[in-house]
Structure 1
Amino acid sequence: MTVSDLDRLHSQLSRLEDLFPGYHTEIVEGSIMMNPVRPFHGKTITRLWTELEPQLPSAWALVTDVAFPFDDDNEFCPDLAVIPAEAEEKNSGAYQPDLIEFVAEVVSPSSVRRDYEVKPRWYASRGIANYLVFDPLRGHVVTFWNPGPDGYRGRDTLAYGPDLTVDSPLGKLTIATAALPVDPKAPSRS
């Protein structure tokens, strides 16, 4: 896929988002997916950004909601991705997925299957060492690690409350989960 192909795809998605404000749009398995953005989704991203950014080495930067075309049928816009600062400084709307060093998604009611089943296969296939799924619907975070060609070989689930420390290629990253929002309709964590 060429840069012009990437720009064309991203331009199409951007127009859709402009037509439907309040929706997050990406291409997954050849289908255009539009998810309404909920307050807990944005609040989770903001808190994660605030915690992670000061922990990153200076050569790395956080991006949110920018396109990463994996192939013609899959263009993801991760809630948070860490890419080289030099690439982020180009201020592009789309980047090659091979730039991602660390990625996190926040689950919404309509993204459960994509976040837990589809995206781990793609992220692992690109060798992304750490994939985190923050789930305000269930009040937990799932960490995926040890990527392989067919998916991640390691997976742990931690209920929100204690700090999460991720041993990543970027160093140890610590995230306080106690302050992350939990949907009041989430199953009891006791």
Structure 2
Amino acid sequence: MTVSGIDRLHSQLSKLEDMFPGYLTEIVEGSIVMNPVRPFHGRTIRKVSTDLEAQLAPVWELVSDVAFPFDDANEFCPDIAVIPAEVEAENRSSYSPDLIEFVAEVVSPESIRRDYEIKPRWYASRAIANYVILDPLRGHAVTMWNPGPDGYRGRDTIPYGPDLTVDSPLGKVTIPTGRLPVDAKAPHQS
């Protein structure tokens, strides 16, 4: 796909987001994917964002639902990404994924495969040191670290309850998981 093709696709995404409020829109493996945003999803993002922002040094800024084009077929809008504050201040609609220092996704019923299988490969391929999956369906967090060309080499699953501390390029960041919502009706709970 050419640069103008990418621009056209990004323009289409922007129009779709305007036409369907309440949906998150991304390009995944060459397809435009739209997911409804659920209350637990939004509440998890708000709580974790508030906790992380209080811990970030002034040189970092948190962004949410901003486009990061990885290649012609994959443009992700992470639920939470931390990038340099000076770049965030440019207030663009998309940024290079190479700027991401920490990324987190909140799982919804429609995003399970993307969050657990597809995105870890892409995030690791760009050497993003830490990827955290927050899963209200299963009531746990998954931390991934030590990125390599085929994905993350380190992975831990922690049930919601205790604080989750991640040793990242940003320093140690703590996510209190005990107050994150859990969907008791989710069919995928473990």
TM-score surpassing 0.5? yes
Cα distance in 1, alignment partners of residues 151 and 103 from structure 2: 14
Q: How many residues get paired?
A: 189
Instruction: Work out the percentage of aligned pairs sharing the same amino acid.
Output: 76
Structure-2 separation of matches of 1:31 and 1:58? 36
Residue 150 of structure 1 aligns with which residue?
Answer: 150
Give 1:3 shift. 7.5
For residues 75 and 115 of structure 1, the distance between their equivalents in structure 2, rounded to whole angstroms, comes to: 13
C-alpha contact (below 8 Å) 2:102/2:128 kept by paired residues: yes
Residue equivalent to 2:81: 81
* Contact map agreement 2:6 2:72 (CA 8 A) in 1: no
Higher mean C-alpha deviation, range 56-65 or range 3-12: 3-12
Matched residue type, 1:165: T
Cα deviations across residues 110-169 of structure 1 (Å, max 9, x unaligned)?
Answer: 000000000000000000000000000000000010000110001100000000000001
Kept in 1, the 8 Å contact 2:137–2:189? The answer is no
Q: Which residue of 2 aligns with 1:42?
A: 42
TM-score, with length taken from structure 2: 0.95
Specify the code of the residue in structure 1 equivalent to 2:163: D
Mapping of 1:133-148 within 5 angstroms?
A: 133-148=133-148
- TM-score, length of structure 1 as denominator length: 0.95
Gaps of 5+ in 1: none
Partner of 1:175: 175
Residue 104 of structure 1: SS of its match in structure 2? Answer: strand
* Ranges in structure 2 where 5+ consecutive residues have no aligned partner: none
Task: Measure, in 1, the Cα distance between the counterparts of 2:7 and 2:189.
Answer: 44
**Which secondary structure state, in structure 1, belongs to the residue aligned with residue 34 of structure 2?**
strand
Question: Alpha-carbon deviation of 1:9?
Answer: 3.4
For 2:115, the equivalent position in structure 1 comes to 115
Look up the equivalent residue of 2:140 and give its one-letter code: H
For the residues of structure 1 that align with 2:77 and 2:64, how far apart are their CA atoms? 7
- Name the CA distance, whole Å, in 1 between partners of 2:6 and 2:94: 7
Shift of 1:5: 6.1
Alpha-carbon RMSD: 1.7
**Partner Cα distance (1:105, 1:188) in 2:** 17
Residue in 2 aligned with 1:53? Answer: 53
1:125 is matched with which residue? 125
Q: How does 1:1-80 map to 2 (within 5 A)?
A: 7-80=7-80
CA–CA separation in structure 2 for the residues paired with 1:3 and 1:29:
17
Question: Does the residue aligned with 1:142 lie in a helix, a strand or coil?
Answer: strand
Aligned-partner residue type, residue 64 of structure 2: T
Letter in 1 for 2:121: R
